[in-house]
Amino acid sequence: MEAPRHDTRGIVDPSGLLNRVRFRRHEPAEPLRRYVEWYWLIDWDLPAPYASHIVPHPAVNLTFQWDGADEAEAPPYAEVTGVALGLYTRKLTGRGRVCGVKFRPGGFRPYAPEAPVSRWTGRALPAQEVFPQATGDAAHTIVTPAEDHARVAALDAFIRSLPCAPDLQADLAMSLVQHIRTDRTVRRVGDFARAEGLSVRALQRLFSTYVGVTPKWVILRYRIHEALEHAGTRTDVDWATLATELGYADQAHLVRDFTATVGVPPTAYAQGLEPG
């Protein structure tokens, strides 16, 4: 399994965010890495509000959070966030912290096998509705330690406490999503399904059950991540060439999808304009 990456794919205006918060990624305990990609920790203490924008990955997150000047007024809590279909915006104010568990795309269902992952798509809900163990006391145990290693240990202990049976279909879904993420030649669902020895219908059912979104959506989302990374790190992007490399029919289609997802056209984003 891959170790946590250090790129900022999916973060809109990464320098703006990282200049305002402490953001770290940590590996979970080795037995948990089959289905958990990484833990992510964020702490902030801001003099003025800041809106963070994310183009999410096709993954479910479990977060333990605290935000507020006084824990008695704003006690820690836990949420399950399904795959967000559009731009995810979080307004950060005052002080706070988040200790997050990012499941591998396709890796959440072994922990919640009662429902297809598509049930959580586009939703953020109290974690106790999925995991009764995610109480306020559990959130307090995870978010209050000052040191990262203590928070990671608390996350490990919580995830270990959840029932989880190995699931070969989850392994297949994770492998297919990873293939899409790393192989730019994957452009059409029909071609991809045939290459993997599946019917389009079987592939779509697998993704609905284990990933929460369609294969076409995953292909598009990783294209947008790639375009976002280019727009955020270079000022001389040849958008027509990039559109071709990403499998678009033409530049106009890339611009349309980028604008619909990020909120501004790629050229405007490259010039430093953020979503409204």
Q: Tell me what percent of the residues of the chain surpass a pLDDT of 70.
A: 93
Residue 263: predicted pLDDT: 87
State whether 47 and 132 are in the same domain.
yes
pLDDT beyond 70 at 192: yes
- Is 6 within a domain? no
Task: Inform me whether the pLDDT recorded for 178 exceeds 80.
Answer: yes
Say if residue 5's pLDDT is above 70: no
Query: What is the token pair recorded at 40?
Result: 């992510």
Position 13: which residue type? Answer: D
Does one domain contain both 55 and 141?
Answer: yes
Range scoring the smallest mean pLDDT among 44-53, 182-191, 246-255, 264-273: 264-273
For residue 106, give its domain range. Answer: 11-161
Choice among 64-68, 184-188, 270-274 with the minimum mean pLDDT:
270-274
Domain assignment present for residue 77? The answer is yes
**Does the pLDDT at position 272 exceed 90?**
no
Q: Does 223 reside within a domain?
A: yes
Considering the domain boundaries, does residue 276 fall inside one?
no
71-76: long-range contacts, CB 8 A cutoff, minimum separation 24: 71/140, 71/144, 75/136, 75/139, 75/140, 76/136, 76/139, 76/140, 76/142, 76/143, 76/144
Q: Which of 241, 217, 212, 213 is nearest to 227 (CA)?
A: 241
Domain boundary among 116, 145, 161: 161
Categorize the per-residue pLDDT at 47 as very low, low, confident or very high, splitting at 50, 70 and 90. very high
DSSP 8-state assignment for residue 128:
G
Is the pLDDT score of 127 beyond 90? yes
Is the same domain home to 68 and 85?
yes
Backbone angles phi, psi at 72, to 5 degrees: -65, -35
Predicted TM-score (pTM) of the model is 0.91
Is residue 2 situated within a structural domain? Answer: no
Lowest mean pLDDT among 21-30, 171-180, 181-190: 181-190
71 pLDDT band, cuts 50/70/90, is: low
- List the one residue out of 37, 66, 21, 64 whose CA is nearest residue 155: 64
129 belongs to a structural domain = yes
- Mark whether 63 and 126 lie in a shared domain: yes
- Mean pLDDT over each residue of the chain, to the nearest integer: 91
What is the CATH classification number for the domain harbouring 243?
A: 1.10.10.60
Cβ within 8 Å of residue 236, ≥6 positions away: none
User: Is 76 in the same domain as 182?
Assistant: no
Provide the percentage of residues in the chain whose pLDDT is more than 90.
72
Statement to judge: residues 25 and 99 lie in one domain: yes
- pLDDT band of residue 20 (cuts 50, 70, 90) is very high
Same domain assignment for residues 233 and 266: yes
Same domain, 265 and 143: no
β-partners of residue 67 are 96
Question: Given the DSSP bridges, would you call strands 21-26 and 36-45 parallel, antiparallel or unpaired?
Answer: antiparallel
pLDDT digits (tens, 9 = 90+) for 227-247: 888 877 666 788 898 898 888
Q: In the prediction, which pLDDT does 70 show?
A: 54
- Same domain, yes or no: 127 and 244: no
Do 199 and 99 lie in one domain? The reply is: no
Q: Is the pLDDT higher at 164 or at 272?
A: 164
Closest listed residue to residue 156, CA positions, set 67, 62, 50, 42: 62
Pick the last residue of a domain from 132, 161, 190.
Answer: 161
Indicate the length of the chain as a whole number.
Answer: 276
Checking if the pLDDT of 222 tops 80, the result is: yes
Establish if 4 belongs to a structural domain.
no
212 vs 221: CA distance, rounded Å = 13
For 86, other C-beta atoms within 10 Å of its C-beta total 12
Are 27 and 43 contained in the same domain? yes
**Residue 111, domain CATH:** 2.60.120
- Say whether both 258 and 124 belong to one domain: no
Q: Which two tokens stand for residue 74?
A: 């704003």
Residue 4: its pLDDT value, please?
Answer: 55
**What pLDDT is stored for residue 72 in this prediction?**
57
Domain boundary (137, 161, 185) is at: 161
Into how many domains does the chain fold? 2
DSSP assignment of 208-259, as one string? Answer: HHHTSS-HHHHHHHHHHHHHHHHHHH-S---HHHHHHHTT-SSHHHHHHHHH
CA geometry: angle 208, 90, 62, nearest 5 deg: 45
The DSSP H or E segment spanning 255 is: helix 251-262
Q: Distance between alpha carbon 24 and the CA centroid of its chain, in Å? A: 14
